[in-house]
């Protein structure tokens, strides 16, 4: 294991700002709730913010969302820090969330986590030196029958073996979503 994780800045250099299209989407989401209840759109809006601003939520991004929604920043922080699917630190282009709950652990998720770490020269929570991959662990992702597995974005990669991990990483490196 080396210390090759990327030393990414934890702050954005520019104030975040949605494109007009995303702004319209955010507005429509807030309008879909009864008057005074628009805060119910917060989780979906945070997902959009994460997609738009590099895959993670900086303080500036959360403050921007609070300003847009006319709510207090703390109301955004408490949601963003509660749900583990939000990234509060910079991440790589692809985030591997490897399930480590019982059924996956029984069929080798620990070995898969170790193998990915060795292959990318990172520990859990770190990003590869090329900025491509972040390794995280997750609790049951609802695919226990296909264990061991990992989630990357919306894609599940199941029945993982070392060979399968090699294929998955190689495909992402080529810019292709693995089958």
Residues within window 84-103 making contact with ligand FES, judged by CB under 6 A:
99, 101-103
Pick from 140, 167, 171, 178 the residue near ligand FES by CB under 6 A: 140
Q: Which of 45, 116, 147, 160 binds ligand FES (CB under 6 A)?
A: 147
Our CB check for ligand FES shows the closer of 102 and 125 to be 102
Q: Considering only 20-28, 119-127, 129-137, 143-151, which stretch makes contact with ligand FES by CB under 6 A?
A: 143-151
Q: CA-CA distance, 39 to 33, in Å (whole number)?
A: 8
User: Using CB under 6 A, which of 76, 143, 150, 169 touches ligand FES?
Assistant: 143
Residue 45 makes contact with ligand FES by CB under 6 A:
no
- 140 neighbors 132 (Cβ within 8 angstroms): no
Angstrom distance (rounded) from CA 44 to CA 63: 16
Shortest approach of ligand FES to residue 111 CB, angstroms?
14
Least Å from the CB of residue 103 to ligand FES? 4
Site map (CB under 6 A) of ligand FES, residues 99-138, x = contact: x-xxxx----------------------------------
Task: Please report, as residue ranges, which positions from 9 to 38 form the binding site for ligand FES (by CB under 6 A).
Answer: none
**CA dihedral sign, ordered 99, 140, 177, 24:** negative
Q: Shortest gap between Cβ of 169 and ligand FES (angstroms)?
A: 20
Binding site for ligand FES (CB under 6 A): 99, 101-104, 140-144, 147, 149
């Amino acid at each position: 294991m080396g210390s090759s994780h990327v030393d990414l800045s934890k702050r954005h250099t520019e104030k975040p700002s949605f494109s007009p299209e995303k702004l319209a989407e955010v507005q429509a989401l807030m309008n879909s709730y009864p008057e005074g209840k628009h805060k119910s759109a917060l989780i979906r809006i945070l997902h959009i913010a994460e997609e738009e601003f590099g895959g993670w939520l900086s303080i500036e991004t959360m403050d921007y969302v609070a300003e847009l929604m006319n709510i207090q920043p703390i109301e955004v922080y408490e949601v963003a820090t509660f749900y583990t699917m939000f990234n509060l630190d910079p991440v790589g282009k692809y985030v591997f969330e490897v399930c480590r709950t019982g059924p996956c652990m029984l069929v080798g998720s620990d070995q898969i986590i170790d193998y990915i770490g060795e292959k990318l020269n990172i520990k859990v929570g770190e990003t590869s030196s090329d900025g491509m991959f972040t390794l995280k662990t997750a609790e049951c992702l609802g695919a226990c029958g296909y264990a061991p597995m990992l989630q990357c974005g919306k894609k599940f990669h199941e029945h993982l073996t070392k060979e399968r991990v090699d294929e998955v990483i190689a495909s992402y490196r080529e810019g292709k979503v693995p089958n």
